[in-house]
Structure 1
């Protein structure tokens, strides 16, 4: 299967191109960029045969079976719908759309067309997070009472741009990081938040969009979740914790694209270091995607996962704006 890249992005060149190429039988045929010279340079640097500035031209290539969308957030919806209409399988960056309606439309369109549609939520592919999920699912910490996510980082200068100053392109820490934490909590607890409260603001980097947010979510099981996301914290480190009736899990520096960090289990027997597989997150994600296209299994994060993580992020943003608790609307999913 040949792929078209919709977006000459850093995440594509740093992670996804390699992850596609290591899969048996997959190769990359083309890339789309709104800037012809940028697209041509990207294609040349990454050994991609074709470069386009016109989406319809790229999608008209019948040899392309799948696309990876990594453009700015406001472009995901129209580009995904065009790719789906052309019969292409789609791996789309998060958040799927600017609104819940957009995200739902994308997923429903893929269902109607019979193509695989997935969301690129990388964290659920990490060995550390797979180990955490297994600990929780196997009952090692008993009934989960609470969780805490701290995902406050220093956004690298080369990634700033629209993320810190362009609300119309989907900028802000909530669509950039909170949406990932929503997916990760859903992955670990196998349930969806009911309602949220939140407070957001600018703490030195955001220009018209929030660069920091804290929120608390209520879960159907009764568990409470506390999250903190920011673009401005250079030395905080990241992590996730789960606390239950029989033990706690402490994971540090695992909210990352790399297979790093530590996981510890603390219970009545003391503290135990938890071993986990250090495979490449994106290799696993693309392998599962390719398997789904071949009719075996499902993507690590499918369209419904993308809708639900966006729904939580949108509720966090509304709660921060209104100062009130907001019920999470999942758009029928």
Structure 2
């Protein structure tokens, strides 16, 4: 972290709502590496709260949200199952706490909009934990497009299919009330990445889905979507919980060149981006900063009144609205408009 970054961000005392793997494996190291302090952790299980707090050296483990919110904290990080985000975020906002919430923000758009608007009314920072827009590969693509290096973008293609690890194969495959399915889990990330790189919003989506390889009932465990953006650009996304040997990629093709990103839809700061034009091929320079640490530094600056979080609540609304439209399209077979 540079001296300028340190001077322009606020060290935050965090309460963690959700004793989850992403909190343990990714966020806690990022909080501590950016100067944050973790004061408390909430779980629905007393045993899990106590064990998680002990293992992660957190002073307080609790099952009571009021206890967590009544402590000496500035902000909360919410990583519980999706149907709990709205009531937990609204309680945090009422208590005067800034919010960093996992995506999707909710299982319905109205609830998501309510908490984003509540934070705005209260003058609090509300951010969506869309980590991929902090990827150096994605940032390099955005810069190349902004500087006109591929001309006018025409098409995009995202390959984000993977195999869902066994320890995550619970509600994501079985419980629609919690937001199960690959679309709300992964396609929302694709949408946010494309919005960030392209600098424009989705207009409509047409989606086809698969189910039954891992998921039960009508829950989709694979999906391909065609997303039309405001400029007329068309993006294809491939998302799955069922492909054990697939790699990730993101391509943008324009009138004067193409950007080919490989291994870039991942939590790790890896991947490569090649720019192809009439002059030949160029491998772009990529910043390898940890994605979550970059996000938390932006959040800290926003809390200090300097700039915006890397992904705002409105960004989360766009990805959720597009994801819900894709779910509807997959069920109806029709193109569905996207708006917030």
Q: Structure 2-normalised TM-score?
A: 0.95
Do structure 1's residue 57 and structure 2's residue 67 form an aligned pair?
Answer: yes
Aligned to 2:95: 86
Aligned to 2:165: 156
Aligned residues: 328
| C-alpha distance in 1 between matches for 2:167 and 2:76 | 25
- The CA RMSD over aligned residues, in Å, is 0.8
Is this contact kept in 2: 1:203–1:212, CA < 8 A? no
Do structure 1's residue 113 and structure 2's residue 122 form an aligned pair?
Answer: yes
With 240-249 and 150-159 compared, the bigger mean Cα shift is at: 150-159
Aligned to 1:287: 297
| C-alpha distance in 1 between matches for 2:333 and 2:176 | 20
* Counterpart among 258, 267, 272 of residue 248 in structure 1: 258
| C-alpha distance in 2 between matches for 1:122 and 1:75 | 20
| C-alpha distance in 1 between matches for 2:187 and 2:229 | 16
User: How far does residue 288 in structure 1 lie from its aligned partner after superposition?
Assistant: 0.5
User: How far does residue 203 in structure 1 lie from its aligned partner after superposition?
Assistant: 4.8
Do structure 1's residue 272 and structure 2's residue 287 form an aligned pair?
Answer: no
Q: Which runs of 5+ in 2 are unaligned?
A: 1-11
Aligned to 1:261: 271
Is this contact kept in 1: 2:272–2:286, CA < 8 A? no
* Counterpart among 296, 304, 327 of residue 317 in structure 1: 327
Is this contact kept in 1: 2:225–2:326, CA < 8 A? yes
Do structure 1's residue 74 and structure 2's residue 97 form an aligned pair?
Answer: no
1:195-234 aligned at under 5 Å gives the runs: 195-208=204-217, 209-234=219-244
| C-alpha distance in 2 between matches for 1:202 and 1:296 | 45
Do structure 1's residue 166 and structure 2's residue 175 form an aligned pair?
Answer: yes
Is this contact kept in 2: 1:52–1:58, CA < 8 A? yes
Do structure 1's residue 10 and structure 2's residue 21 form an aligned pair?
Answer: yes
Paired residue secondary structure (2:286) = coil
Aligned to 2:4: none
Q: Residues 235-286 of structure 1, C-alpha deviation per residue, up to 9 Å, x if partnerless?
A: 1201100000000011111000001111111110111111201110011000
* Counterpart among 146, 154, 162 of residue 137 in structure 1: 146
User: How far does residue 329 in structure 1 lie from its aligned partner after superposition?
Assistant: 2.6
User: How far does residue 44 in structure 1 lie from its aligned partner after superposition?
Assistant: 0.4
Structure 1: which 4+ aligned runs deviate by more than 2 Å? none
| C-alpha distance in 1 between matches for 2:105 and 2:177 | 15
Q: Residues 86-114 of structure 1, C-alpha deviation per residue, up to 9 Å, x if partnerless?
A: 00000000000111101110100001111
| C-alpha distance in 2 between matches for 1:170 and 1:200 | 16
User: How far does residue 23 in structure 1 lie from its aligned partner after superposition?
Assistant: 2.0
| C-alpha distance in 1 between matches for 2:74 and 2:128 | 17
Is this contact kept in 1: 2:83–2:178, CA < 8 A? yes
Q: Structure 1-normalised TM-score?
A: 0.97
User: How far does residue 206 in structure 1 lie from its aligned partner after superposition?
Assistant: 1.0
Q: Which runs of 5+ in 1 are unaligned?
A: none
Aligned to 1:46: 56
| C-alpha distance in 2 between matches for 1:136 and 1:283 | 25
Q: Residues 200-224 of structure 1, C-alpha deviation per residue, up to 9 Å, x if partnerless?
A: 1215111131100111011111111
| C-alpha distance in 2 between matches for 1:272 and 1:233 | 31
| C-alpha distance in 2 between matches for 1:175 and 1:217 | 15
Paired residue secondary structure (1:196) = strand
Paired residue secondary structure (2:193) = helix
